[in-house]
Amino acid sequence: MPSVCLYFQVHQPYRLRPFSFFEAGRSSNYFDKRLNSEIISRVAKKCYQPTGQSLLRAIRKHPGRFNLSFSISGTAIEQMRAWAPEALDTFRDLAATGQVELLAETYYHSLVSLTEDTAEFHKQVRDHIDLMACEFGITPRVFRNTELIYSDSIATKISELGLQGIFVEGIPEILGARTPHAVYRNYGDTLSLLPRNAELSDLLGFKLRNGGPNNSALKPDDFVRRIKEVAKSDDTIFIALDFETFGEHHQGDVGIVNFIEQAADLLLADSDWSFVTPSQAIASASSRDELSFPTVRSWADEARDITPWRGNEMQKAALKRLYSDEFRSLCDEDLWRYLQTSDHFYYMSNKGGPDGEVHSYFRPYESPYDAFICYMNVLRGASAVSLLQQPRSLA
Amino acid sequence: MKVLMLGWEYPPHISGGLGTACAGLTAALAEKGVDIHFVVPKVIGDEVTPHMAFTDALGSASDVAKTADNESVKTEVTRLPAFLNPYWNQKQFAAAVASSQVRSSRLSSKIGVPEVDAVSQALEDGEVYGVSPFGDSNECNQTDRHNLARGLFSEVERFTSDILARFSSEDFDLIHAHDWMTFPAAVALSHTTGRPMIAHVHSLEHDRSGLFYDREIDAIERFGLRSATKVVAVSHYTKRSIERNHLISGDRVEVVHNGVYPRQVISDYRQRKTWPQHIVLFLGRVTFQKGPDYFIEVASKVIPHVRDILFVLAGSGDMLPEVQEQARALSIDQHFLFPGFVQGDELEELFSVADLYVMPSVSEPFGIAALEAISFNTPTILSKQSGVSEVIQHALKVDFWDTDRMADLIINSLAHPELRQELIENARLELSKLHWGAAADSMLAVYREVLSAQAREALSGASCY
């Protein structure tokens, strides 16, 4: 019986305001409260709430057969509490249906898994697991690392937390001839790996406007047809993307917000098919081959590696400073964690081409160089020994 | 295709982006097979222009270049002695006259060797003036000065009639004129010969002088732009200025970005002398348009935060004494070097040792010097009010008046070598697309459009304007 496993990412960073060199040590007003509140209110209104409602309808229409999963970062939850509480209510309603699984990630959507500091990595994941239990009454069993960053050595750190599975990018060179539509085991056999189908996921993520026949807009029936074309009898197709796709990245008519609901209606008309949660997929998986990721990969940029965040010399220098013992000893601990969010480094990427366009879409500064300078000024301020240190306020 | 180009050379003592741009464009067009007769107002002296040869012929020289297809293309150069600098307004013209050693001279059979003639004789004959700043005589003749004090526009008039006299009966397909001083001549020649005229704008009086612009120069600009068959601007920034200040419709203006000569950075100048650890460079004319006073102000904000730093303000111009005084008044003059006008090896050295090149221009139509800096592996900080910021993405950009932000950018650039490294590696890739060949291609397209429009009008008998 073929199935689709849906996973939606919900994340917002605390973006930094254009912090000047001359403010360092004098002001601790690091975060752009106005911009961050504007963005989350807007995204909640255009995407989280209406799409969430659409998914709730789908869940009620197809009891037991329409299941899905979310991962909601700690920084997103905090900002929703402050500026978009109705969106948080929608997510609570979804969690309460019993047909929505919540995944674990690092609380701050951070790159700490790339460092040697396993203790800090564990702390950030445990904080997130506690948050899920507190907000939604659900304890996550499956993990997704920031931007699906994954390697064999990262798996080891995750296994130590008692989690049973993890989403990874379905990299063609790594899969080789093997099907992407199955659950695998990691190198070391401690976790189940759920490989994201990049082609179908990106069809939704990037090509809603022109992914249909003859570059027309992608319609739910095109999408369902594509899924059926690739699936064999016992396949599970893993579709993972940014939840903001529906209503924020792609705006306009109601068709976009209801896309998944309509696709579900069409697909579930065929009684063979179902939508499963990651845990359900793991439970029902039969044979599990090993899939090894010797180098670190991710779901971002064409290279699907860590160059979106640690590709150029500026990013490397910023990360080195952030995770240095010296900086850590001088910086307030909470602030240090908020500065770890991967987006800060994503904004510093100066790649060109299509990758560059995506980076530039998300970047709230005029250039990656401005992003770097702003970040380094903040690090300078955060580690300044000054009589004027005030508690920083994010919200 | 034969083009009569009225432009500017790159003499060692009168310089700026305009001369460099003309030289680059001419050489690249010649390589594409365009026959060019290049006419320049020349101040007789020791100029060096590598791709244009001197000969012994009176008033003219020619250079035989090879195109990419190895055809021979002739670039002819005529130097008309005239006391003109494309950046001058009336006041600067008068000041230049007063400060230079003016001797009238008759053109001799050999260019470059002015014969000192009887002053009164020369003036009565209405002979052209030659100026030799490196002359051995210190006298500045009163009568000479009086005549030149008739002013800048008289000199332009004389230049115009010289051109008409020499070129009315010459054969060419179109006239290409660079900046306002050549416009009267170009328009007159266009009327006389019936050939179309292209007005190429490298700089506007509004850019050069801001609020205190010279209305006569402004009027001559407008006259040239309105009379031209087509206008070429060096940037979209300048195109917008043209539309706004001279009410020229946008579809009559094409943008052709300037290029740059590729350069091999050969020697390591840092090792040769003891330079301070951090060097920040300004290089350009020291005049209102270039924002040298903002450079000084920014330096005063940077110096308290960076050890062992040197600010170099290289160039000459009317604001030089003022900015030197500004540095003294701010007590930062010991962190400044004012080498004056630089060229050749000295220019190369400054660009090579600098950690940063700063262009705080108030209004910069293009800004070739920024491209030169990049070709010397120096990262740049550019005024957003510049044309060159349209073509380089990998630079730090800032509003010219935002001295706090400019200081922030400089301090961070000096503190973080990785920032400079990323800027320059990526800017160099951008630079590789900005060669004069590309500019020449765009220019050729404009030439063809103008000529085919001319041909169509001739067939239909419609008037030009």
At B163-221, the pLDDT tens digits run: 888 888 888 999 999 999 999 999 999 999 999 999 999 999 988 888 888 888 999 99
Active site members of A: 147
Reported as a single tens digit per residue, the pLDDT across A80-102 is: 999 999 999 999 999 999 999 99
- What's the token pair of residue B237? 């920034």
In a domain, B67, yes or no: yes
B396 CB neighbours in chain A (<8 A) are: 367, 369-370
Give the single-character DSSP code of A22: G
Q: Which of B408, B411, B426 sits opposite A350 (nearest CB)?
A: B426
- The reply to whether residue B421 touches residue A313, judged by beta carbons under 8 angstroms, is yes
- The reply to whether residue A312 touches residue B423, judged by beta carbons under 8 angstroms, is no
Disruptive mutation site among B422, B424, B432 for chain A (greatest number of A CBs within 10 Å): B422
Contact A293, A168 (CB under 8 A): yes
A312 CB neighbours in chain B (<8 A) are: 418, 422
Sheet holding B72-81, edge to edge: B60-66, B72-81, B35-42, B2-6, B174-178, B197-201, B230-233, B253-255
Nearest residue to B413 (alpha-carbon basis) of B400, B398, B399: B398
The model's pTM is: 0.85
Overall size of chain B counted in residues = 465
**Strand, helix or coil at A158?**
helix
Q: Which of A313, A350, A377 sits opposite B394 (nearest CB)?
A: A350
Highest average pLDDT, of A380-394, B45-59, B130-144, B150-164, comes from B150-164
Cα(B301)–Cα(B414) distance, rounded to whole angstroms? 14
In a domain, B460, yes or no: no
Give the single-character DSSP code of A17: P
Cα(B432)–Cα(B435) distance, rounded to whole angstroms? 7
Secondary structure tally for chain B: helices H, strands E: 16, 17
pLDDT band at residue A53 using 50, 70 and 90 as cut-offs: very high
Cα(A113)–Cα(A293) distance, rounded to whole angstroms? 15
In a domain, B459, yes or no: no
* B124 interface with A at CB cutoff 8 Å: no
Smallest Cα distance from B374 to chain A, Å: 16
Cα(A290)–Cα(A267) distance, rounded to whole angstroms? 30
Mean pLDDT of A317-331: 96
Mean pLDDT of B263-275: 71
* B396 interface with A at CB cutoff 8 Å: yes
Class of domain A3-291: alpha beta
* B405 interface with A at CB cutoff 8 Å: yes
- The reply to whether residue A21 touches residue B412, judged by beta carbons under 8 angstroms, is yes
In a domain, B117, yes or no: yes
Residues in CB range of B373: below 8 A, 6 or more apart: B281, B283, B351, B354, B357, B379, B380
Residues in CB range of B81: below 8 A, 6 or more apart: B41, B42, B43, B44, B105, B107, B128, B129, B130
pLDDT > 90? residue A309: yes
Mean pLDDT of A345-371: 95
- Same domain for B36 and B122? yes
pLDDT > 80? residue B117: no
- Same domain for B410 and B289? yes
- What's the token pair of residue A239? 């579709």
In a domain, B446, yes or no: no
- What's the token pair of residue B85? 């600098």
Reported as a single tens digit per residue, the pLDDT across B397-452 is: 999 999 999 999 999 999 999 999 999 999 999 998 888 999 999 999 999 999 99
Report how many Cβ contacts below 8 Å link chain A to chain B.
Answer: 48
pLDDT > 70? residue A279: yes
Nearest residue to A317 (alpha-carbon basis) of A262, A367, A376, A277: A376
The answer to which of A109-113, B243-247, B344-348 has the lowest mean pLDDT is B344-348
Q: What is the DSSP string of B347-375?
A: HHHHHHH-SEEEE--SSBS--HHHHHHHH
Cα(A208)–Cα(A206) distance, rounded to whole angstroms? 6
% residues pLDDT > 90 (chain B): 50
Cα(A42)–Cα(A84) distance, rounded to whole angstroms? 9
Higher-confidence position of B70 and B450: B450
- Same domain for B180 and B251? yes
Last residue of a domain, one of B223, B255, B287: B255
The predicted pLDDT at position B132 comes to 30
* B397 interface with A at CB cutoff 8 Å: yes
pLDDT band at residue B62 using 50, 70 and 90 as cut-offs: very low
In a domain, B448, yes or no: no
The enclosing H or E element of B130 equals strand B129-131
Whole domain around residue B109: which residue ranges?
Answer: 2-255
- The reply to whether residue B416 touches residue A317, judged by beta carbons under 8 angstroms, is yes
Q: Which of B408, B411, B418 sits opposite A317 (nearest CB)?
A: B418
Smallest Cα distance from A352 to chain B, Å: 10
B416 CB neighbours in chain A (<8 A) are: 314, 317, 372, 376
- Same domain for B45 and B137? yes
Give chain B's domain count.
Answer: 2
Please report, for residues A176, A274, B352, B361, the alpha-carbon distance to residue A180 in angstroms, rounded to integers and kept in the order given: 9, 18, 53, 57
Place of tokens 């509480």: A85
Disruptive mutation site among B396, B405, B409, B418 for chain A (greatest number of A CBs within 10 Å): B418
Smallest Cα distance from B408 to chain A, Å: 6
- Same domain for B235 and B291? no
| Spans of all domains in chain A | 3-291, 307-382
pLDDT > 90? residue A217: no
Indicate whether this complex's ipTM tops 0.85: yes
- Residue A113's CB is within 10 A of a number of other CB atoms, namely 23
Place of tokens 């160099």: B428
- Residue B419's CB is within 10 A of a number of other CB atoms, namely 24
Contact B106, B127 (CB under 8 A): yes
Contact A149, A306 (CB under 8 A): yes
In a domain, B416, yes or no: yes
Higher-confidence position of A390 and B408: B408
Overall size of chain A counted in residues = 395
Q: Which of A22, A314, A366 sits opposite B419 (nearest CB)?
A: A314
- What's the token pair of residue B334? 């010991």
- Which CATH number do you get for residue B419? 3.40.50.2000
Quick one: CA dihedral B273, B276, B279, B285, positive or negative?
negative
B423 CB neighbours in chain A (<8 A) are: 369
**Strand, helix or coil at B66?**
strand
- Same domain for B76 and B16? yes
pLDDT > 80? residue B14: no
- The reply to whether residue A367 touches residue B411, judged by beta carbons under 8 angstroms, is no
Nearest residue to B363 (alpha-carbon basis) of B266, B454, B245, B219: B245
Q: Which of B405, B412, B418 sits opposite A313 (nearest CB)?
A: B418
The answer to which of A15-19, A340-344, B60-64 has the lowest mean pLDDT is B60-64
- Residue A190's CB is within 10 A of a number of other CB atoms, namely 14
The predicted pLDDT at position A211 comes to 78
Reported as a single tens digit per residue, the pLDDT across A235-255 is: 999 999 999 999 888 877 667
B 288-307 residues with CB below 8 A of A? 305
B398 CB neighbours in chain A (<8 A) are: none
Nearest residue to A350 (alpha-carbon basis) of A336, A366, A337: A366
In a domain, B444, yes or no: no
SS (H, E, C) B208-270: HHHHHCCHHHHHHHHHHHHHCCEEEECCHHHHHHHHHHHCCCHHHEEECCCCECCCCCCCCHH
Cα(A243)–Cα(A76) distance, rounded to whole angstroms? 12
- Same domain for B248 and B277? no
